[in-house]
Structure 1
Amino acid sequence: MAEVAAGALVAEQVVATGVEAAALVAVATPTHPLKVSLTQLAAPSVDGTSQTQSLARSHHTITTIRDKAYIFGGEGPDGNLCSSDVHIIHLPAQAPTSTTKPKHAVQEPFPLEDARTGELLLPEPRTQHAACARGKHIIIHGGLDASGNPIEEDNCLWLYDTSSLQWSKLPSVTQLGKAMPSRYGHSLFYDAAQDFLVLHGGHTTRYIKEHPPSFSILSDPHLPTETETWMYDFPSHSWTALPRAPSAPLSVAYVDTTLVTIAAGDKLSGTIHHLRLLPNATEREKPGALKWRTVTYPTNPLTPGPRPRSDAVLVPLATGHGRYYLVYMLGRDDDGAYCSDMWTLQLPSHGLTAASAKDKIRDAVMHGSGAWSWAGVELVPTEQMVPDGKVHPGPRARVAADACLGGKGVVLWGGENAKGEREGDGWVVGLAYGYADRDRWE
């Protein structure tokens, strides 16, 4: 009742004050849907080699650090593992408005020798690994080798220094009494404010490439998905187990200290699990502080929402003022069909931000803040400057993606199309300004 009274008082003050009338309009303005643009990054080439040969791949990773994106690993057009080269893509400084041909460089492996062990510091080629950025370093963990086996490296971390262009290696141990199997198909995130890694999900058994005709993408009995969550502490080089998720993840993201997973539901619903890791270790160590929570959402014509899917893109998008969304697109549904639709999920706001203030008022005096609600995006067309330029990547799965444009965009690269072919183009998903979005108070 106190929150309702406080919300009503704030609303009354806003109405009574002419100077703040615009704020009332802003509070009443819905946060959904977002207007976004999709722009294709034209095909670069390296030493006369077409992009189809040099950058077409799936099951790879793309990691952004400032205005560069670093592509590593995966499977090429012939299905074989790509080399340990690091491909560097120079991204546009702002959301492109036409087909942009990015600069492209390749950093071939240059292994150093560990002075203590004599080991050559270079990660072997791999696919279905996990990656994230920590400062100027790209962190690589796990994956499959050429034989389809999880790579056994004692869960070490490979670090690629984007300044010196050299690899190094961090060892790891697990907490007493806990075992962390080697894995692939998992997710890895870095919390810059608290300097730790979060790992979630993945598979720990041998990968089976040939599936039976009855194979279901979302409930594959041959490749059980782990529900484990682990935290890596850099000072101690150790992995600590966190609470397991209630069910296996299909897609995973980390934003605003919260781990979010999309899991399978039934034909008319999907499931969101979320675990808030809190702002500091003291809060996390309190009994019962770390607890998974679940939100079920409908997926029917009356209340639209995306059908759960595997091999999809799930990346945070920030609109400013403390407002975060998750972009959910592409992938494969339970029938094995490739998807091309694009959705955004509004996340709850935290802290002393404009978005949090707006949400508290809307929760108190309106129909809710919109947290955990889905909406299809409004695509704003952009001019394509080349005759064969696309306006949409089309149905696709196993695409590498990461945030870009200071968190206000998403960069996509490669993937597998509906014909099973590896693609080699890049895309930028950016907020489309110049419309009502610019005036929205989030």
Structure 2
Amino acid sequence: MSTWEVLEPNSHPERVPAPRRQGTLLSHDGNLILYGGLDSSGAELTDVWHFNCITKIWNQLPHAPIATKSAAIAGHSLYLVAASESLSSEVHRLNIDLYAQEPPNWDTISIPTNPLTPGPKLRANGTLVPITTGYGRCYLLYFFGEVLGNNDNADLYQRSDLWTFQLPSSDVNVKATTNLTDAIKPAEIKDQIRSKLGTDTGEISWTEVEVQAPGDLRAHEDKVHPGPRGSFGYDVTPNKSGVVIWGGRSADGQPIGNGWMIQLA
């Protein structure tokens, strides 16, 4: 039976995160990563902390270059996405390694957004989750979010598009496991061959997702797409190849009572 437990930190009072609200708390290797949020005055925070659930000690990681609610952990890296400019988007990455010889640094990838290099348009509060299509092929799924209208008194309106950002493929080295698909990752082998041949591997690039409803759902409430919506619950599916979303509010502020599962193929 599962029970609740209070995790009282053993860290010095000066080495714990400041009080905040709307921070992002993520799981990594049985521990926790805390990022950002708002302080008591409403100012945005960009600090990053690692909490060891065994020793109950906080360790601070380098501050993020931006404040955003679009944060996710894939592999051993913390990713942040910002689409705050109309002509580009940025992906920021921090390797989570407390015992590295050199302190970790943030890497930033700026990707122009135009008809030749498509990418997510300007938005705030876009949802970001890590997914995989198997055999070492990993992505960040970035979807929905909000954008302010053109005039000063405009309300926020909601995006309904979905995008994947292809991450570098997993290591090709064979690892001890009882699962063949976890033992070796063919995607890395394929990408190395493509790279040698001068063929684009698709890494570090955005691709828009085309959502197609199964035939038996096409007439369900005259709706074949989960968006637009905001303030909804979400999580990746157990096989990490899709995402489940539930509830939230519609573009006109009305509560939504349905749920959707989006499976990536």
Select the residue among 287, 296, 301 that pairs with 2:115.
301
**How far has the Cα of 1:329 moved from its partner?**
1.0
Tell me, in whole angstroms, the C-alpha distance in 1 between the residues paired with 2:204 and 2:157: 26
1:179 is displaced (CA, Å) by 4.4
Gaps of 5+ in 2: 150-155, 173-184
Q: 1:285 is matched with which residue?
A: 100
Structure whose CA Rg is larger: 1
CA distance in 2, matches of 1:199, 1:367: 38
Q: What pairs with 1:35-434 in structure 2 (closer than 5 Å)?
A: 163-164=1-2, 166-174=3-11, 177-192=14-29, 195-205=30-40, 223-278=42-97, 281=98, 284-288=99-103, 290-335=104-149, 336-352=156-172, 353-382=185-214, 383-384=216-217, 387-388=220-221, 390-432=223-265
Write out per-residue CA displacement over residues 230-263 of structure 1, whole angstroms, 9 at most, x where no aligned residue: 1011222121100111121240011111110012
Superposition TM-score, scaled by structure 1 size? 0.52
Aligned length: 246
Instruction: Note the alpha carbon deviations across 1:197-233, whole angstroms, 9 max, x for none.
Output: 1111111235xxxxxxxxxxxxxxxx43211111011
Name the SS of the counterpart of 2:171 in structure 1: coil
Q: Give the AA of the match of 2:189.
A: A
Query: What is the aligned-residue RMSD (CA, Å)?
Result: 2.1
Q: Is the 8 A contact 1:232 1:238 kept in 2?
A: yes
For residue 325 of structure 1, report the CA deviation from its aligned partner: 0.9
- Quote the offset at 1:405 in angstroms: 3.6
Displacement over 6 Å in runs of 4+: none
Offset, 1:389: 5.6
Structure showing the higher strand proportion among its residues: 2
TM-score by length of 2: 0.84
Task: Determine the C-alpha separation between the residues in 1 that align with 2:230 and 2:75.
Answer: 26
Superposed displacement of residue 265, structure 1 = 3.9
**1:361 is matched by which residue type in structure 2?**
I
Q: 1:343 to 1:387 in 2, by over 3 A?
A: closer
Asked if 1 retains the 8 angstrom alpha-carbon contact of 2:24 and 2:69, the reply is: no
Query: How far is the alpha carbon of 1:394 from its aligned partner?
Result: 2.5
Distance 1:369 1:224, change over 3 A: farther
Which gives a bigger RCO, structure 1 or 2 (Cα 8 Å, sep 6+)? 1
Q: Deviations over 1:65-112 (max 9, x none)?
A: xxxxxxxxxxxxxxxxxxxxxxxxxxxxxxxxxxxxxxxxxxxxxxxx
CA distance in 2, matches of 1:264, 1:431: 22
Aligned residues of 1:313 and 1:399 also touching (Cα < 8 A): no
CA contact (8 A) 2:68 2:81 kept: yes
Q: 1:385 to 1:355 in 2, by over 3 A?
A: closer
Consecutive unaligned residues of structure 1, counting only runs of 5 or more, are 1-162, 207-222, 433-442
AA in 2 matched with 1:200? Y
1:342 deviates by: 1.0
2:153 is matched with none
Equivalent residue letter for 1:340 = S
CA contact (8 A) 2:212 2:224 kept: no
